[in-house]
Amino acid sequence: MSQLAAALRKEAMLQWRTRVQFAAVFVFGATSLLLFSFAIGPNSEALRLHAAGFLWLALLLSSTLTLAESFQGEMEQRAFEGLLLLPASPTSLFFGKALSNLAQLTLLGVGLVPVMIVLYDAATVRVGGLLVIIVLGAAGLSAPGTLYAAMTSQARAKQTLLPLLLFPLVVPVLLAAVKATSLLILGDPMEQMRDWALLLVAFDGVHWSLCGLLFGRVVEE
């Protein structure tokens, strides 16, 4: 636990120093939502119907920028090799990085919700449920995203390679998150939201377990 706490502290310091970059990622996500609304047109019913899908699409596109840069500073200063030489397990390093990415993606998702409400007239009274879905969906993106970001961190075309590897893997997470968010916005007469949330929990458990086990082998090669 002390190793994980130290890794989280390091990540928090790094994220605070790059907070301007996070603001740029948020602007990118908000701009994506704006462009998607233009594609639908002035039809308020259609906008509300597609709001959940566009919210998660904007978050997915923005996440690739955040995840790709999560190892950038350490690779430029060659600090990651030094971290591997410390008496700390690669698993602790992974969970520290993945939890930091989870916090960023959750904050980004929460920040994009007011933009979605304004552009798509997609308000919901179930704010607590929406926050839970955002956290679960962000967790499903951050674990494999952190693993693949580590794999592609030394590649020249990492900004292109990361989405190609990540997007096919997180399709089930996105489908469940979009469906659950849509039910929160449009109504859930059949009470299906709980089932989609449990499906997200299952996906997150698999992703976090496997990625934590594989991270050591990835960074040591």
CA-atom Rg of the chain in angstroms: 18
Positions in the chain short of pLDDT 50: none
Contact by Cβ (8 Å): 53, 178: yes
pTM of the model: 0.86
Contact 97, 70 (CB under 8 A): yes
3-state secondary structure the chain: CHHHHHHHHHHHHHHHHCHHHHHHHHHHHHHHHHHHHHHHCCCHHHHHHHHHHHHHHHHHHHHHHHHHCCCHHHHHCCHHHHHHHCCCCHHHHHHHHHHHHHHHHHHHHHHHHHHHHHHHCCCCCCHHHHHHHHHHHHHHHHHHHHHHHHHHCCCCCHHHHHHHHHHHHCHHHHHHHHHHHHHHHHCCCCCCHHHHHHHHHHHHHHHHHHHHHHHHHHHHC
Q: According to the model, what pLDDT value does residue 11 have?
A: 59
Give the CA dihedral 144, 165, 66, 110, nearest 10 degrees.
-60
Report d(CA 76, CA 207) in Å as an integer.
28
Distance CA 117, CA 120 (A): 5
Token pair recorded at residue 84: 């591997």
Residue range(s) defining the domain that contains residue 196: 2-220
pLDDT of residue 112: 93
- 127-147 b/e with 16+ CB inside 10 Å = b? eebbebbbbbbbbbbbbbbbb
Structurally, how many domains does the chain consist of?
1
Nearest to 48 by CA among 173, 172, 183, 171: 183
User: How do residues 69-127 score in pLDDT, each as one tens digit?
Assistant: 777 666 665 555 555 555 567 777 788 888 888 988 999 999 999 999 999 988 877 88
Residue 83 is encoded by which pair of tokens?
Answer: 């971290």
pLDDT of residue 109: 93
Q: CB-based burial of residue 49 (10 Å sphere; 0-12 exposed, 13-18 middle, 19+ buried)?
A: middle
